[in-house]
Amino acid sequence: MVRRFGVMTFLVWLVLNPLVAFAASERSGVGGALAWQPWSDQLFVQAKRENKFILLDLEAVWCHWCHVMDRETYRNPGVIKLIESRYIPVRVDQDARPDLSRRYENYGWPATIVFNAEGEEIVKRAGYIEPKNMMSMLAAIIDDPSPILYRDSKVVTEFARDPLLPVAVHQELLKRYTETHDFSIGGLRQAQKFMDRDTVEYALLRAKQGDRTAEKIARQTLDGALNLIDPAWGGVYQYSTHGDWKHAHFEKIMQVQAEYMRVYALAYAQFADPEYLRAGSDIHRYLKAFLTSPQGAFYTSQDADLIKGRHSEDYFALDDAARRKLGIPKIDKHLYARENGWMIAGLATLYAASGEKKYLDDAITAADWIIQHRATKDGGFRHDEADKAGPYLEDTLAMGRAFLSLYLATADRAWLARAGQAADFIRNNFADSHATAAGYATAAGSGTLKPRPTTEENISAARFFNQLARYTGKGTYRESAERAMRFLVTPDIALFRLTDAGILLAADELANEPVHITIVGGKGDVQAAQLYRAALRYPAVNRRIEWWDQREGAMPNADVQYPQLGRAAAFVCTNKRCSLPVFEAGEIAALADRLNQ
């Protein structure tokens, strides 16, 4: 257990132990450290030739316990001796390899995976392993390398034929959605407290339909998670331990920043609680100060520790000035397409809820940079400047959803076109051509570890393709959404995790028409712009907001015929029928509520 100490002791320790002392842990084969290798398929050839196992250390550069394990376990002479005798040590930053990260996310971070030369997983371990236990594990594998069967060892190969949730599976997911909620302080009923974004978003959808229990689930978690916002710098810590919201782990990860911003924006639109808008603003404040590059694209994360492997609760208890005197925790300055897509969607949603143009400006700046520097020629996206593998599903998927968010925010058809290009790239590169296959795999291509579909990515894919189908009217995108759903509704997948409100959310959106509000009028018309802003503020998780300027030609999805009037007007549609024209922005919300009850 790492010793905790007071502020004064911390300051003295910092002076006596400069950051350079930890630089050796970043280097391979220096000062007694292991000679770590990068991940590649050639490792399995080497393992077979040398009669060795492969030890994968899947770490996160922002992760406290990864730092501790590097210092305490992988620098232990006994551990080093065992590894060098029969193992090939491989270290991978999980943020840099979305395929490996998604494959082993239930075991991290750090995640420790041992393979034989054929690519079979012998052992999978989650979290910090102290030296004694590591040596015992390594010796046991040498003695008996039989693979351990884990709950996730069985690969599902037969999938549902119907994209709709079976009744029994739907009922079980609903039961888990409620039973896993902590009705005392919010969040899931577990030691780690964080905002499960799918649970809260699904609760927002049901609360809008009048479900009071869902409203309680949403608001308890939203209110509890406010405690994870850094009072000095803004931004959100990853989670809290001890079964409460008061024991934060201090890493700040882009997906957490982006999804909290997006969900708090949706919650502000629905409940008009200024604390939720302030939460989005605080995340943006942190983003601008720490995670925005000079080019306007977004960095990846900030470390939990000022000194790697040392708890930093005393540091994060300080104010801004006191922290800066001691230094700034390391920032991972990779500019990944996936992380930028997540944040662009968050910023666009915050703009839609608040009307503050600075959020939209930042989103567009980042989107333009990613298009210039990460786009492929055929509509997809690289992860980094030069990827060693891939392409990866999540980069193009995150950017596709970002483009749809920008289309919603601006009604600029160029963003819709880019979303369509991203969708086509996903369809062409990540779908198994086998007739009975379902879902979209984490990466294109093949290797010793064949890419598989994952639940998280296919929830996102189902929602993306379904929304794109609503906006374009293209049946191919509806079919793509159904392909993802057939993977998700397969009982062995749908019921594998503790709870999966994201599947409920995707299923609801596929089965039900979105709230549909269309503004008819010129893009330069002041009244039309006011109507569109009011439509954007309307609270709905599943929505289709459009602005038809006749000069741009027919609507992308012309499933409704609108009259051209002498002035700008709004129409609220549901189940293929529309309201009479509305000319006042203040009347849109009440009419939409009435028609969508």
Give me the domains of the chain, ranges plus CATH numbers.
Answer: 16-143 (3.40.30.10), 155-180+430-458+472-505 (no CATH), 181-416+459-471 (1.50.10.10), 515-595 (3.40.30)
Whole-number Å distance between alpha carbons of 371 and 341: 11
Q: Where are the beta strands (DSSP E) in 22-170?
A: 53-59, 87-93, 111-115, 121-126
User: What is the residue whose two structure tokens read 């406290």?
Assistant: 64
pLDDT value of residue 309: 94
| DSSP-assigned beta bridge partners for residue 298 | 292
| DSSP-assigned beta bridge partners for residue 392 | 443
DSSP, res 308: T
Whole-number Å distance between alpha carbons of 487 and 494: 8
pLDDT value of residue 543: 96
User: What is the residue whose two structure tokens read 């905002």?
Assistant: 195
pLDDT value of residue 435: 58
Question: Hey, what are 133's tokens?
Answer: 């236990």
User: What is the residue whose two structure tokens read 């609503």?
Assistant: 470
pLDDT value of residue 20: 33
| DSSP-assigned beta bridge partners for residue 159 | none
Q: Determine how many CB atoms are found less than 10 A away from the CB of residue 476.
A: 14
Task: Choose among 459, 497, 331, 393: nearest CA to 101.
Answer: 393
pLDDT value of residue 8: 32
Whole-number Å distance between alpha carbons of 436 and 192: 38
pLDDT tens track of the chain, all 597 residues?
A: 333 333 333 333 333 343 333 333 333 333 458 999 999 999 999 999 999 999 999 999 999 999 999 999 999 999 999 999 999 999 999 999 999 999 999 998 999 999 999 999 999 999 999 999 999 999 999 999 999 999 999 889 999 999 999 999 999 999 999 999 999 999 999 999 999 999 999 999 999 999 999 999 999 999 999 999 999 999 999 999 999 999 999 999 999 999 999 999 999 999 999 999 999 999 999 999 999 999 999 999 999 999 999 999 999 999 999 999 999 999 999 999 999 999 999 999 999 999 999 999 999 999 999 999 999 999 999 999 999 898 999 999 999 999 999 999 999 999 999 999 999 999 999 998 775 689 999 999 878 999 999 999 999 999 999 999 999 999 999 999 999 999 999 999 999 999 999 999 999 999 999 999 999 999 999 999 999 999 999 999 999 999 999 999 999 999 999 998 999 999 999 877 789 999 999 999 999 999 887
Are 218 and 267 in contact, with CB atoms under 8 Å apart? yes
Distances (CA, A) of 352 to 205, 312, 340: 17, 36, 18
pLDDT value of residue 30: 38
